[in-house]
């Protein structure tokens, strides 16, 4: 099968295919099915999200789907669909997987020459946009992609302080989420912060001068044969004016609504694109250079690249290759890419669990079972 071609089936692909243990693969699928994200981790009914909470600034300011579905997923090897479970055509909220889509549209901008050097200050490329203060003026594109910018300000009514000390990833925190702290110099501190990611989205919008969902659609999703059902939302108050035109700035997650809503199959296509080194058939959509940059560990947070999670020192998934990487969103939505085994695994709504030695043990268990089926 040529790169990029896929045949979708509700059943496993050729069970007699070499190096595929269909029984072990079925075992992996069953594991994903029975480890549904429980309602106490993320409710099925999204109507109550952002309501009845004591957290300041937690109110939703963007659209959300009414409900989420049950577990669904896809396993691809060498571009072949080996396994599929649940409703893989249902459009679901991808939450912080949206951040990795920002990395992709940023990569297309880099490949097209719109960003000459990621170490350039953002202010050299765009007018306004929150980089006028002495502290923010030296922030670079790379720092925004790596979440080391320490950008300070309020965007669309949400101050960056709301996500200071946010307990995400493997960073050691010495403060309570949402409390002020003294800011460091840009590029000297890693922090997972949706306000700053949304600032990156706004900056890319000003750079492209057209809505990012249109960039993604034209430059990426249409060329890889994705469906027309996916959406990328901003907030109710995130309209900005660029060259006299009103445009909506999208969000990099579902923290306050908005974000990417996409079905499992389309996410799998994006994972396959990353596995292919940015190529799809005869077309080079993302450069291998950008993918290498995006999956290079940040010196301040080795399990993070350019808005992609990395498995440096096997810190996230001990059973998986160190070279594997993923886009991850709330509810344990994951698009996992394993170049060593030519695998892509998409899993939606996998129960989150914590245990010593792994920050994401259920993901690790799922990936381990898939790997054992194809070795």
Per-residue pLDDT 10s for the chain (375 aa) are 344 445 544 333 444 454 789 999 999 999 999 999 988 888 888 876 754 455 666 788 999 999 999 999 999 998 889 999 999 999 999 999 999 999 999 999 999 999 999 999 999 999 877 999 999 999 999 999 999 999 999 999 999 988 776 667 655 666 666 677 889 999 999 999 999 999 999 999 999 999 999 999 999 999 999 999 999 999 999 999 999 999 999 999 888 999 999 999 999 999 999 999 999 999 999 999 999 999 999 999 999 999 999 999 999 999 999 999 999 999 899 999 999 999 999 999 999 875 444 456 799 999 999 999 998
Q: How far is the C-alpha of 6 from the C-alpha of 275, rounded, in Å?
A: 14
Both tokens of residue 363? 């993901």
pLDDT of residue 356: 42
Alpha helices in the chain (DSSP H): 22-34, 97-111, 141-146, 194-208, 212-216, 264-275, 288-294, 361-374
* pTM: predicted TM-score of the whole model, two decimal places: 0.92
- 8 A C-beta contact, residue 351 and residue 332: yes
In terms of Cα–Cα distance, which of 222, 203, 194, 221 is closest to 307? 194
- What angle is formed at CA 56 by the lines to CA 53 and CA 61, rounded to 5 degrees? 80
HSE (CB half, 13 Å, CA atoms) of 365?
18
Q: Under DSSP, is residue 152 helix (H, G, I), strand (E, B) or coil?
A: coil
* pLDDT number for residue 171: 56
């Amino acid at each position: 099968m040529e790169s990029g071609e896929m045949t979708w089936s509700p059943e496993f692909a050729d069970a007699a295919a070499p190096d595929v243990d269909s029984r072990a693969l079925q075992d992996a699928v069953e594991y994903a099915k029975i480890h549904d994200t429980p309602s106490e981790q993320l409710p099925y009914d999204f109507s109550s999200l952002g309501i009845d909470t004591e957290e300041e600034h937690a109110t939703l300011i963007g659209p959300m789907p009414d409900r989420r579905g049950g577990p669904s997923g896809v396993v691809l090897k060498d571009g072949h669909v080996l396994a599929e479970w649940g409703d893989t055509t249902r459009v679901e909220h991808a939450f912080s997987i949206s951040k990795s889509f920002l990395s992709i549209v940023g990569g297309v901008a880099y490949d097209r020459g719109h960003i000459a050097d990621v170490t350039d200050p953002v202010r050299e490329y765009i007018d306004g946009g929150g980089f006028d203060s002495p502290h923010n003026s030296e922030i670079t594109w790379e720092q925004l992609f790596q979440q080391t910018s320490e950008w300070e300000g309020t965007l669309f009514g949400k101050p960056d302080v709301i996500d200071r000390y946010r307990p995400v990833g493997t960073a050691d925190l010495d403060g309570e989420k949402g409390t002020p702290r003294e800011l460091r110099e840009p590029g000297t501190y890693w922090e997972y912060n949706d306000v700053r990611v949304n600032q990156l989205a706004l900056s890319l919008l000003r750079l492209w001068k057209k809505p990012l969902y249109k960039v993604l659609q034209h430059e990426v999703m249409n060329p890889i044969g994705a469906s027309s059902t996916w959406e990328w939302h901003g907030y109710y108050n995130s309209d900005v004016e660029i060259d006299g035109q009103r445009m909506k700035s999208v969000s990099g997650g579902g923290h306050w609504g908005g974000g990417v809503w996409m079905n499992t199959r389309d996410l799998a296509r994006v994972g396959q694109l990353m596995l292919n080194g940015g190529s799809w058939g005869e077309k080079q959509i993302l450069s291998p250079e950008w993918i290498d940059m995006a999956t290079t560990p940040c010196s301040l947070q080795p399990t993070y690249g350019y808005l992609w999670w990395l498995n440096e020192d096997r810190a996230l998934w001990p059973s998986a290759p160190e070279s594997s990487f993923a886009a991850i969103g709330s509810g344990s939505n994951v698009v996992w890419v394993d170049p060593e085994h030519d695998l892509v695994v998409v899993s939606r709504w996998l129960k989150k669990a914590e245990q010593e030695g792994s920050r994401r043990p259920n993901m690790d268990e799922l990936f381990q079972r898939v790997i054992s089926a194809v070795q």
